[in-house]
C-alpha cells in the first residue's frame, strides 16, 4: 500500500469516527473537564462550613464521637481536614431497616478520589456531618450527596447514564479517541517545507482553511496530553484487561474485596481500638504515604480501612483488625505503572499545570467536532473531495 493510499484510509477512519461519535465524544470530554475541578466546584455549589477555632486538633476518636452524637450509629467514613479552616467531614451510613448491621454498606473503590461531598455517587443515602477539628463542635450536617451538576457529570463520564453496563461503552469511546489521535497525527504530518505552518493558525486563514488549521494546530499542541488522558480512561474502564481489578491479599493468602476489606473474627473479651490508634498503625505501616481518611465499619467482622495517598497521587489502603490491633493487609499499587493512570486521567496529585492540561484536553473534543463538521459541510457544499489538499481549498 502506498503512503497516499494509507493516508486516504486514515482519513476515512478519522472522518467517520468523528462524524458518527463526535457528539458523544464531545460530551464525554466536557464532563471530564468539569470533574477535573470537582472539589472546587463542589465548594462553590455546596460550601462546607468554616472551622474557625484555633489551637491543637482533638483526637480523632472525639471527632467520631461528636459525629455519632449528631447522626447516630452507622458505618463512618471520616475525611480528614485538608487545609486550615476546613472541617472534618464524617459520612455516616446507617443500616437499612431489616438488614444486618452494616449490610448494604459500600466504601469508596480503591484509588478513587475522595469527593468534597463525602463519597462517590451512587452510594446508599447517608448523612454528612461537619466537625470543627479543634473544638469538636458540630458545624452542620446535610444529606451526603453531590450537587446535581457534579452528580450528572460523574454519571455521564463514568457510564453515560447507562448504569454499570455503560462503563464498557465509555471505554470503547476512549478507544475511539485513541484512534482519532493516531489517525489525526498521520493526517497532520506536514509535507517537506511546510513544517513552519503546521503548528499555528495563520492570520490570513479564513473559511475552510481557518477551520482546517485550527483543527490541526489544536490537535498537535494537545496531542500528548490527549493521548495520555484517553489511554488512562481506557485502562480505568477495562481494569480486568489490564490486571487492575480483583481483590487484595491478606495473611495466609486469603483474598478479599478491596471495597469491603478482609473478613475477620471478633475476639471474645477484646475491646476494639479506636480511630486514633488505627491511624497511628497505618502511618507506621506506610510511613511515606499521607492519610486522607478512615472508614470505621459497623459490622464487627470487618476491618478498619485507612485511606492513604502514596507519592501524593496514588490511592493506597491499610486494613486493620480492630480486635487484635494489627495490620492484616495493605495495598500500595504506586509501584505499578498502570495504577498511575487514574491520577493521570483525573489530573489529581500531579501539580496545577498537569491539572490544567487535563482540563483543556477535555474541552478539545468539542472543538474538534465543531471544526470537523464545518469542514465536512463546506466541502460537500463546494463539491470538493473530502481528501482535498489545502491548496485546493479556496478561502470561501
DSSP labels for 149-184? HHHHHHHHHHHTTSGGGHHHHHHHHHHHHHHHHHHH
What is the predicted pLDDT for the residue at 113?
46
Could you report the per-residue pLDDT of 357-378, keeping only the tens digit for each?
999 999 999 999 999 999 999 8
Residue 116's pLDDT band, with cuts at 50, 70 and 90, is very low
Using a pLDDT cut of 70, give the percent of the chain over it.
87
Contact 197, 216 (CB under 8 A): no
Residue 246 has pLDDT above 90, yes or no: no
What is the predicted pLDDT for the residue at 244?
65
Cα four-point dihedral sign 174, 178, 183, 187: positive
Give the closest residue to 130 by CA, choosing from 46, 43, 51, 40.
Answer: 51
Residue 391's pLDDT band, with cuts at 50, 70 and 90, is very low
Q: Is 265 helix (H, G, I), strand (E, B) or coil?
A: coil
Residue 290 Cα to chain centre, angstroms: 19
Could you report the per-residue pLDDT of 136-175, keeping only the tens digit for each?
999 999 998 889 999 999 999 999 999 888 999 999 999 9
Contact 207, 378 (CB under 8 A): yes
Q: How far apart are CA 105 and CA 97, in angstroms?
A: 13
Q: Is 24 helix (H, G, I), strand (E, B) or coil?
A: helix
pTM of the model: 0.84
Average pLDDT over residues 197-225: 93
Q: Is 329 helix (H, G, I), strand (E, B) or coil?
A: strand
Q: How far apart are CA 113 and CA 97, in angstroms?
A: 30
Residue 394's pLDDT band, with cuts at 50, 70 and 90, is very low
Residue 287 has pLDDT above 60, yes or no: yes
Residue 123 has pLDDT above 70, yes or no: no
Residue 97's pLDDT band, with cuts at 50, 70 and 90, is low
Q: How far apart are CA 155 and CA 162, in angstroms?
A: 8
Least confident of 100-109, 225-234, 341-350: 100-109
Residue 81's pLDDT band, with cuts at 50, 70 and 90, is confident
Phi-psi region of 104 (alpha: psi -120 to 50; beta: other; left: phi over 0): left
Give the list of residues 6+ apart from residue 382 with CB closer than 8 angstroms, or none. 208, 394, 396
Q: How far apart are CA 101 and CA 60, in angstroms?
A: 23
**More confident site: 259 or 198:** 198
For the chain, domain boundaries: 3-39+154-241+348-392, 45-146
Residue 119's pLDDT band, with cuts at 50, 70 and 90, is very low
Average pLDDT over residues 83-108: 66
Amino acid at each position: 500500500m502506498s503512503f497516499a493510499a494509507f493516508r486516504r484510509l486514515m482519513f476515512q477512519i478519522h472522518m467517520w469516527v468523528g462524524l458518527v461519535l463526535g457528539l458523544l465524544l464531545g460530551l464525554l470530554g466536557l464532563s471530564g473537564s468539569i470533574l477535573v475541578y470537582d472539589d472546587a466546584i463542589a465548594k462553590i455549589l455546596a460550601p462546607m462550613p468554616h472551622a474557625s477555632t484555633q489551637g491543637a486538633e482533638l483526637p480523632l476518636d472525639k471527632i467520631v464521637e461528636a459525629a455519632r452524637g449528631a447522626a447516630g450509629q452507622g458505618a463512618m467514613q471520616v475525611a480528614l481536614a485538608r487545609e486550615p479552616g476546613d472541617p472534618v467531614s464524617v459520612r455516616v451510613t446507617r443500616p437499612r431497616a431489616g438488614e444486618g448491621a452494616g449490610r448494604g454498606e459500600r466504601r469508596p473503590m480503591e484509588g478513587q478520589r475522595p469527593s468534597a461531598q463525602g463519597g462517590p455517587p451512587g452510594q446508599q443515602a447517608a448523612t454528612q456531618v461537619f466537625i470543627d477539628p479543634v473544638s469538636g463542635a458540630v458545624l452542620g450536617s446535610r444529606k451526603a450527596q453531590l450537587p446535581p451538576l457534579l452528580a450528572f457529570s460523574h454519571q455521564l463520564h463514568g457510564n453515560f447514564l447507562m448504569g454499570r453496563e455503560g462503563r464498557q461503552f465509555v471505554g470503547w469511546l476512549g478507544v475511539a479517541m485513541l484512534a482519532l489521535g493516531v489517525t489525526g497525527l498521520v493526517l497532520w504530518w506536514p509535507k517537506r517545507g511546510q513544517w513552519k505552518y503546521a503548528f499555528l493558525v495563520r492570520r490570513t486563514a479564513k473559511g475552510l482553511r481557518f477551520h482546517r488549521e485550527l483543527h490541526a494546530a489544536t490537535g498537535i499542541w494537545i496531542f500528548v496530553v490527549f493521548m495520555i488522558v484517553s489511554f488512562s480512561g481506557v485502562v480505568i474502564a477495562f481494569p480486568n484487561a489490564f490486571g487492575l481489578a480483583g481483590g487484595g491479599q491478606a495473611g495466609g493468602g486469603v483474598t478479599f474485596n478491596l471495597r469491603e476489606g478482609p473478613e475477620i473474627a471478633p475476639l471474645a473479651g477484646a475491646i476494639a481500638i479506636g480511630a486514633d490508634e488505627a491511624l497511628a498503625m497505618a502511618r507506621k505501616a506506610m510511613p511515606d504515604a499521607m492519610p486522607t481518611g478512615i472508614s470505621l465499619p459497623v459490622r464487627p467482622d470487618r476491618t478498619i480501612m485507612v485511606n492513604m495517598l502514596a507519592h501524593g497521587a496514588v490511592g493506597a489502603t491499610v486494613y486493620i483488625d480492630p480486635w487484635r490491633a494489627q495490620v492484616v493487609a495493605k495495598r500500595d499499587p504506586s509501584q505499578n505503572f498502570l495504577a498511575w493512570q487514574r491520577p493521570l486521567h483525573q489530573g489529581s496529585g500531579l501539580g496545577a499545570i498537569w491539572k490544567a492540561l487535563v482540563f483543556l484536553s477535555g474541552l478539545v473534543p468539542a472543538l474538534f467536532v465543531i471544526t470537523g463538521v464545518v469542514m465536512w459541510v463546506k466541502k460537500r457544499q463546494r463539491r470538493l473531495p473530502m481528501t482535498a489538499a489545502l491548496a485546493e481549498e479556496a478561502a470561501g
